[in-house]
Structure 1
Amino acid sequence: MDGPMLVRRGAAGVLAAAVFGGLSTLAPVDERVRLTAARSETPAPEPKAPRPEPKPPPPDCTRVKCLALTFDDGPAESTGELLDILASRNVKATFFLIGENAAKYPGLVRREHEAGHEVADHSYTHADLGRASKKKIISELTRTQEAIRRASGVTPDLLRPPYGSTSERLTRIARRMGMAQILWTVDPLDWRHRDTEDIERRVLESVKPGHIVLLHDIHSTTVRAVPEIIDRLAAKGYVFVTVSELFGGKLAPGEEYTQSNSGEGQGLP
C-alpha cells in the first residue's frame, strides 16, 4: 500500500504544483495588461506654451524725434475706440486715470496695460490736489493706486495733478509715494473746444520733439482727432512713446516734468 499511495501522492503534488505554478505565471500577465490599459488611459501631457516674443527696446529719444501722447480722465466708453486706433498704428501712449473710472471700467484699464500703454494716477475724483489737505491728498492717490492695481496688476509711479495744480505738500507726498509729477507742453483745450479739426490743428501747429501732449479720451471729438494727429506727425518723422520712455526712465519721485530736452538737437519737423 505504501508504494501506490506514494505514487498517487506524488502525482497529486505534481498536479497541484502545475496548477498553482500556472496561476503564479498568469498573475503577472494580468497585472501587465491592467497597467498597460491604465497607461493607455493616461492623457498625453499638454504641450508647453510658446515663450513670448522679447519686447523690443524703446526708441532712443536722443536720436529720434519722440513725442508723448497722454490721455486724461478715463477710462470711459470712448476709450475702447481709442485703443483700437492706437493698436492699428502701433502707437503707445500714457493714460492718466481717474480712480473712480478705473474702478468702474477695470477691463479697459487691464486692456491699456496689456497693450503696452502706461497707466498713471490722476486722483480718484479729479480733486484739486494743490489746494487739498494732507489727508485728502493721500486718500485721493492711494485709492486710485489701489483701483489701478486691482484692474491691471501694476502700481503706477506717475502722477498728473488735476488742473496741473500742485503744492509743496503734494510734492512731499508724491516723493514719499514714489511718484513723479507729469504736467504737459501742448494743451489743445480739447475739453473746451469739442471740435475735431480744431484739436488736430492746435496739436499739429504746436508740437516739437520732446513734448508731452495733453488730450482727454473721455471726449469722442478728441478720439476722432487722434488718427490724423498720428498720421501727420509720423509722416514728419515723429515716434510716439510713453512718458517714461520719453525721459529714458529717469524720473525722480516728486519732481515736476513738462517736457523732455533730449530732443533739442534733433531739429524741428
Structure 2
Amino acid sequence: MGRRLLVLLLGAASLLLAQGTFALSTPHEPKVMYLTFDDGPNPLFTPIVFRVLEEYGARATFFPTGQTLRVFWDDEEVQDLLDRGHAVGSHSWAHSQLSTLTPEDLEDALVRANGTLQRRTGFTPTCLRPPYGVTDQAVERTLERMNLTVVGWDADPAEWSNPPVEEALAHIGKWERDGMVVLFHDRKWQTLEILRAVLEEYGQEGWTFAPLPECLRGGSMAARQQTRSSGDGPIGGLEVLQFDAVGGEQVLGGWAYDADSPEGGLEIFLNLDGEPTAYGRTGADHRFEVRVPAGTPGPVCLWAGNSGRQREDAFLGCHSGRRG
C-alpha cells in the first residue's frame, strides 16, 4: 500500500490519515514530539514560528505547497530553514485533494512540487503530507513509485479555527504518546500562542522537539552544496553527536560551507552565557565540533561567519541542552 508514517483507515473510496492513529516508522523515542507545519510559507508567520521554536531549542518539519513556495521563497529562504535544523517535505502543488485528481493531474501536482523543492534545496523531497490527509489506492501507488513517504499526524488541534489555548492543549494531551506527530499551520496568529504553550508545557516535562527522520533523508551536505555558487551565503547543518545524560555535557557536530571558501576555515560562533563567542573554524572537510559544558543555561545558538559588507552569516539554529 506504499510507504507511510501513520496507519491509514480504509474507506470505500479513499484512505484517510486518521487523527490519533499509530505511527509505524516514526521512532517511538521517549518524550520526543514531532511538530509539523502545513500550507506555508507565509511571509509574516513562518519567520515568527522560527523565532518561537528557537526560544526553546526546538526543531520541526515544514510542508509547504509548491505554489506558495514559488511565490514567497527562493533558495536562500529554504536553505535558511534547513540551516536551522528543520526538515522540509512536500504538500503537493496547490493543496488539491489528491484522490480527486486525474492520473495526469496527480503526476503534474507531485512533479511540480518536487521540482520546486529540489531547485531550492538541492535534493528531491522524501516525504509528503497529502492535503486534507486523504489519499486512495491509486495515489498510494503513485507515491510509492516516486519514493515519497506519506506523513500523517496523531493530534490536530485545529488552531486554524482559533480554539482557546487550553482547549488545544487538552486535545493534544488526549493523543499524547512517545514520538507523537502534531499538525500545525504556519499562517495564523493563534498558531503562535498554541505553539508557545506546547513548547512551554511539554518542555518543562522534559520533552524534546525534533524533525521527522523520514523527511531528513536526502538532505546531505553534498546535495545542498550543489545549490551554492560564488557570491552566495554559506549554508550548514548541526546534529547532536554525544549527550552525557549524567554530566550534562553535549557534543554538537556540524558543517558549514561557503562556495567562496572551498578549503574551509569558516569561523563558528555560539552564544554561551548569552554572549556571541568565536569558538573555532571549519576544517578542510567543512566540518566542526562544539562541546557545550554542563549547566549552560538556555538553548545554545550557533552560526557560521561570512565576512564582507553584503554577506550574511549562516544561522545554524538554537538547540536545547537535552538529547535531540
TM-score range, shorter chain: 0.5 to 0.7
Which of 199, 216, 224 aligns to 2:168? It is 199
1:96 aligns with 2:63: yes
2:39 maps to which residue? 73
For residues 29-178 of structure 1, the aligned pairs below 5 Å read: 64-76=30-42, 77-106=44-73, 107-178=76-147
Three-state SS of the structure 1 residue aligned to 2:41 is coil
Three-state SS of the structure 2 residue aligned to 1:191 is helix
CA–CA separation in structure 1 for the residues paired with 2:177 and 2:45: 27
More strand by share: 2
Q: Which has the larger radius of gyration?
A: 1
1:182 maps to which residue? 151
CA–CA separation in structure 2 for the residues paired with 1:126 and 1:246: 19
**Is the alpha carbon distance of 1:232 and 1:110 closer, same or farther for their aligned partners in structure 2, counting shifts above 3 Å?**
same
Structure 2 unaligned regions, length at least 5 = 1-25, 219-324
Three-state SS of the structure 2 residue aligned to 1:121 is coil
Alpha-carbon distance, 1:221 to partner? 1.1
CA–CA separation in structure 2 for the residues paired with 1:149 and 1:141: 12
Alpha-carbon distance, 1:202 to partner? 2.7
1:10 maps to which residue? none
Sequence identity of aligned pairs in percent?
28
Three-state SS of the structure 1 residue aligned to 2:209 is strand
**Is the alpha carbon distance of 1:248 and 1:207 closer, same or farther for their aligned partners in structure 2, counting shifts above 3 Å?**
farther
Structure 1 unaligned regions, length at least 5 = 1-59, 250-269
Equivalenced residues, count = 190
> Residues 93-120 of structure 1: CA distance to partner in whole angstroms, max 9, x if unpaired?
0111111111122244332122111100
Matched residue type, 1:122: H
CA–CA separation in structure 2 for the residues paired with 1:121 and 1:140: 10
More helix by share: 1
Alpha-carbon distance, 1:80 to partner? 0.3
Higher relative contact order (CA 8 A, sep 6+): 1
